[in-house]
Amino acid sequence: MSFTRFYDPDATRHGLPTWPWGHAPPHLVTRKQLAAKGLRPGGQDPAGQVRWRSRRAPPGARGVREALLYRIADAKPKRAPTPAVLASLARAMRARRTCPTCRLTFTYCLPTSLGECAACAFDTEVDPNDLEDAA
């Protein structure tokens, strides 16, 4: 039943050309598949969609999930991040690893549930193996 329910290549029922999971034409791929090839949609409108039944569908979706499809021929290469963007991301990650109380920087992100390192939250000793090298 699902195949005929989701098979609509003429876009008469769903507004976009629609195929069941695994039956889309090979020249149409999802965003994730484009990203795996080093591409991005590049401003193009979706050329179709894939729909399938799933227990993980969001509430109100009646057990149906969907993914938009884009043409590979119209896709553009992914943009490389600038040095400023990379530096900004590095600062943000460092802030997630720095305890606001003791100002120590750890090798892992601190839990947001505590708001500080476990040593400060529970008044214990800091494990030196968890600290980032100061070099």
For every one of its 135 residues, what pLDDT tens digit does the chain have, with 9 covering 90 and above?
568 889 999 999 989 999 999 999 999 999 999 999 999 999 999 999 999 999 998 888 889 999 999 999 999 999 999 999 999 999 999 999 999 999 999 999 999 999 999 999 998 888 888 888 764
Residues 6+ apart with CB under 8 A from 127: none
Place of tokens 């894939």: 50
Q: 20 and 48: one domain?
A: yes
20 and 62 share one domain: yes
- Would you state the pLDDT for residue 60? 85
User: Where a domain ends, among 77, 102, 120?
Assistant: 77
73 with 88, same domain: the answer is no
45 within a domain of the structure (yes/no): yes
Of all helices (H) and strands (E), which one includes residue 48? strand 48-53
8: domain range?
Answer: 2-77
> Are residues 73 and 87 located together in one domain of the fold?
no
Q: Is residue 135 part of a domain?
A: no
Assessment of whether the complete model's pTM goes beyond 0.75: no
Q: Encoding tokens for residue 34?
A: 């484009």
